[in-house]
Amino acid sequence: MALPRDRSTRMGTESIGKLLLEFSLPAMLAMFVTASYNIVDSIFIGRLGSEALAALSVAFPLQMIIGAVGIGTGVGAASLISRSLGAGDPNRAAQGAGQLVPLALGFSVVAVFVGVFALEPVLILFGATPEIMEPTSDYMFLITVGAVLFFGIMMLNNVVRAEGNPIFSMKVLILSALINIALDPLFIFGWGFFPALGVQGAAVATLLAKGIGVALLLWYFLTGRSELHFRIDHLVPDFGSIVEIYRIGFPMMLMQVATNVSLIVANNILGAFGYVPIAVMGLIIRLQMFAFMPVVGIIQGLLPIIGYNFGAGKRPRVREAMFKAARAGTGFFVLVGGAFFAFPEVFLRIFSSEPELLAVGERALRIMVLMYPVIAIQMVSLTFFQGIGKGLPSLVLSVLREFLVYIPLMVLLSSFWGLTGVWAARPVADAFSLTVALTFLVKEFKRQKIPLLGDFPDEEAPDASMAQD
């Protein structure tokens, strides 16, 4: 079968609107399904009681730190790959992709070490209380031991998307998520020859589903379906390529880690009010994932378009892609945030009908979604800096929202307003972060000679200096 070898070149010639739809819709669908399996996890675990939900909430940050390493590394590689393809250097793109193999294996060794030798102290640090330690450690032991599957599916999927094949990336993520959903009740509650493993069963289902996804991605690369041509030497660690990957990937990784550090801090603050607020925070995080995932899909579609066109010096296409992605993301956040604000009990009852949890959760959810309409602009701004290879602004914007602003606000406001202060810290941090993101974006637009509004003075001439830091 003849395989197309010019998928990437379309990113510099086809309509931006068509490209965004083609790249974002598959990613949005995949993110919807991925978010759904996290929701389904919580629904099934919720049937085991609030303590089981609290255990999942405490385990969530550590699981997401594993995900942060995979996502950050994958995004950094994707930026390098798309910029290299845009600049006409497929060998550099292949070498960047090949570095993911030794990186994934190295991080997996670290995760296994934590799971085997240091899990309980880590979970205590993350807010685990004695009554939920056993189910939390049972769940996270399996996740850490099988971390290589998380790294594999996240990193390799970004490579597939970066080379211009979002459809296959979507199929892998959706199939993996659907398998996870199907296996959840079998391993959590038991059925036939499937054992009833409780909270640990959710981890078993997740690892089996991720393993199937990794197998499909390896099949894609090993059977010549990729546009990238790999050699054995591409898999040998290359310091220059790794530095380039983490120049962009580290800020994304740090943003994900900062999100989880903020959740760890929140769990420790909320623990003073009992395990119900911890369970509420965990449920809101999962609802937030459901709200964010479609916009993350838009962002994932946007990144290779920005990277390719920036590498090719096509500034008008960079701006057009950003503005269209921001409008689509903002519209979605307005709709979902409005639904959460208007009907919080409806969404919380999906997981639990316990009166105390609902009473605490309704107020918390209404407060935490107040600034949803501005989040898409922050996400697009960060993606712009990732796409053009600017590490420092990406780093600052990555840690600002979750770490530098949100955590101090949680500590400060909770000392005055208790639980309400923890919930209120979120929208206040979002408002401040938007101001900083727009300031950075306007300055970089001026530097790159990209007008915020109006026509480009030299629209017909690609600007090779764009690719320079």
Distance between terminal CA atoms of the chain? 41
Taking alpha carbons only, the member of 94, 16, 18 closest to residue 316 is: 16
Q: In Å, how far from its chain's centre is CA 55?
A: 22
pLDDT tens, position by position, 237-261: 999 999 989 887 887 787 777 777 8
Q: Is the pLDDT of residue 468 over 80?
A: no
| Three-class SS state of 191 | strand
Confidence of residue 67 (pLDDT cuts 50, 70, 90): confident
**Domain locations along the chain:** 13-449
| Average pLDDT of the residues in 288-297 | 82
Q: Is the pLDDT of residue 156 over 90?
A: yes
| pLDDT on residue 467 | 44
Confidence of residue 6 (pLDDT cuts 50, 70, 90): low
Q: Judge contact between 67 and 210, C-beta under 8 A.
A: no
Q: Judge contact between 242 and 99, C-beta under 8 A.
A: yes
Task: Give me 19's structure tokens.
Answer: 């490209």
Rounded distance, CA 100 to CA 73, Å?
Answer: 8
Rounded distance, CA 13 to CA 164, Å?
Answer: 13
| pLDDT on residue 12 | 77
pLDDT tens, position by position, 206-238: 999 999 999 999 999 988 888 888 888 888 999
- The chain-wide mean pLDDT, for the chain, equals 85
pLDDT tens, position by position, 176-190: 989 999 999 999 999
Residue 394 identity:
S
pLDDT tens, position by position, 299-321: 888 988 888 888 888 888 889 99
| pLDDT on residue 115 | 92
| Average pLDDT of the residues in 340-348 | 93
pLDDT tens, position by position, 39-52: 777 788 888 887 88
The highest-confidence range among 64-68, 442-446, 458-462, by mean pLDDT, is 442-446
| Three-class SS state of 194 | strand
| pLDDT on residue 35 | 66
| pLDDT on residue 460 | 44
Q: Judge contact between 129 and 187, C-beta under 8 A.
A: no
Within 10 Å of residue 435's Cβ, how many Cβ atoms? 10
Rounded distance, CA 29 to CA 33, Å?
Answer: 6
